Amino acid sequence: MKTALSGNEAVAYAMKQINPDVMGAFPITPSTEIPEYFAQYVADGVVTTEFVTTESEHSSMSVCIAASAAGARSVCATSSCGLALMHEMLYVAASSRLPIVLACVNRALSGPININNDHSDSMGSRDAGWIQIYAENNQEAYDNFIMSFLIGETPQVRLPVMACMDGFITSHAVENIELLDTEVVQGFVGTYEPEHYLLKKENPLAVGPYDLSAFYMEHKVMQAEAIRASKARILQVAENLAAISGRHYGLIECHQMEDAELALVLIGSSAGTAKASVDELRQMGQKVGLVKVRVFRPFPAEELAEALYHTKAVAVLDKAESFSGCGGPLFAETRSALYDLPQRPQLINLVYGLGGRDFTTESARSVFERLAQIAETGETGPRYAHMGQRTRGSAT
């Protein structure tokens, strides 16, 4: 069915089609609409979900952890400082191997207080043990949310999944998308049948116990193995979705990369803007391309190396500042992914778009202009810089 929905509406609709057992809910801009829309489905009796309103985001994730440990399919939605307040519980969910699905509507973290988009919230939680998938547009946000259940719940994975989309840019903008029939979605996702759970009287167990040094490292290794196993599962689920929708997804998406000499690497809605610039420059005869990272955890290192090995100069665009003093999180991991290549492209990092600062087609073209100079001269200049900020002393 073709319709027009905002990203938040699309995720709430996917949630309705899946009909999870429990939702832990607490509002925060710009994800508030997701539990609002879904609460209406609950009130109308369209779903049978137990909708639990809580006093904080920490508590909403705690509700999901308890429900998932008891064997229930559990969902949540949050943004920004809400995700930060959940931080402790994110580790509990992942280490307890509970396949909760969280809709993260990306928003800048305080301070100063800012309600607009960047990726500082989810990137701040990148090492909590969650699978992280990012959407470029509303269609992708809908599809990612549906796929997240089959990814996280598979026995060899059993990890929580964070389905991310850009606040306001994706969450509130209305786009034409194609929805699957509810019966198709329910058949695709199926029922959640965990092997072990708290309410299974035949096999009593504890979830999240105190882990002494004799066991803790073994459990962390098991988590690391599950993250590695999730890569194959993500691709398998994407193939299954393509069979019923005709929409194809990978760990990364390459645009005009077949013979590209200059390339951008980035995440989220900015990819759509950058694609327009790539296509314009291609019409002018320039060999430019783009790699969109859809899945940040597990990190697609091999896939990025394969996509970029033949390029001359690459700019990695980070919509989050890691304060490492030498680049953002996407840059650090991309640089590591390319390190073992026998011949590597020149690599630079630009941190951009913080707190909702505009990223335009002109912005993308300016990056390609710099890459062209690097390819020609071999001189990179500063490898790590910020883009789009006013210079000091200018009007505020």
pLDDT recorded at residue 224: 98
Give the start-to-end residue ranges of the domains of the chain.
Answer: 2-245, 252-387
How far apart (Å, rounded) are the C-alpha atoms in residues 55 and 27?
A: 10
Roughly how many angstroms between the first and final C-alpha of the chain, as a whole number? 47
How far apart (Å, rounded) are the C-alpha atoms in residues 262 and 301?
A: 19
3-state per-residue secondary structure call for the chain:
CEEEEEHHHHHHHHHHHHCCCEEEECCCCCCCHHHHHHHHHHHCCCCCCEEEECCCHHHHHHHHHHHHHCCCCEEEEECHHHHHHCHHHHHHHHHCCCCCEEEEEECCCCCCCCCCCCCHHHHHCCCCCCEEEECCCHHHHHHHHHHHHHHHHCCCCCCCEEEEEECCCCCCCEEEEECCCHHHHHHHHCCCCCCCCCCCCCCCCCCCCCCCCCCHHHHHHHHHHHHHHHHHHHHHHHHHHHHHHCCCCCCEEEECCCCCCEEEEECCCHHHHHHHHHHHHHHCCCCEEEEEECEEECCCHHHHHHHHCCCCEEEEEECCCCCCCCCCHHHHHHHHHHCCCCCCCEEEEEEECHHHCCCCHHHHHHHHHHHHHHHHHCCCCCCEEEECCCCCCCCC
- CATH homologous superfamily for 2-245? Thiamin diphosphate (ThDP)-binding fold, Pyr/PP domains (3.40.50.970)
pLDDT recorded at residue 393: 59
Instruction: Give the residue ranges of the chain where pLDDT is below 50.
Output: 395-396
Strand partners, 78: 104
Rounded to the nearest 10 degrees, how much is the dihedral formed by the CA atoms of 271, 275, 278, 279? 180
Nearest Cα residue to 231 out of 249, 254, 251, 253? 251
Amino acid symbol at 267: I
Number of Cα atoms under 13 Å in the Cβ half of residue 226 = 26
pLDDT recorded at residue 391: 82
Structure-token pair, residue 158: 């059993």
Predicted confidence (pLDDT) per residue in 143-201, tens digit: 999 999 999 999 999 999 999 999 999 999 999 999 999 999 999 999 999 999 998 88
Per-residue CA distances from 337 to 130, 331, 340 (Å): 20, 10, 7
pLDDT recorded at residue 208: 83
pLDDT recorded at residue 396: 36
pTM for this prediction: 0.97
Predicted confidence (pLDDT) per residue in 113-123, tens digit: 999 999 999 99
Structure-token pair, residue 27: 């509002």
pLDDT recorded at residue 378: 95
How far apart (Å, rounded) are the C-alpha atoms in residues 22 and 196?
A: 18
* Angle at 297 (CA atoms; ends 291, 303), nearest 5 degrees: 40
Q: Domain 252-387 belongs to what architecture?
A: 3-Layer(aba) Sandwich (3.40)
Rounded to the nearest 10 degrees, how much is the dihedral formed by the CA atoms of 174, 175, 178, 183? -10
Number of Cα atoms under 13 Å in the Cβ half of residue 355 = 8
> Does the bond joining 99 to the residue before it have cis omega, within 30 degrees of 0?
no
pLDDT recorded at residue 361: 98
pLDDT recorded at residue 241: 98
Are 198 and 31 spatial neighbours (Cβ–Cβ below 8 Å)?
Answer: no
pLDDT recorded at residue 239: 98
**Sign of the alpha-carbon dihedral angle for 144, 63, 34, 291:** negative
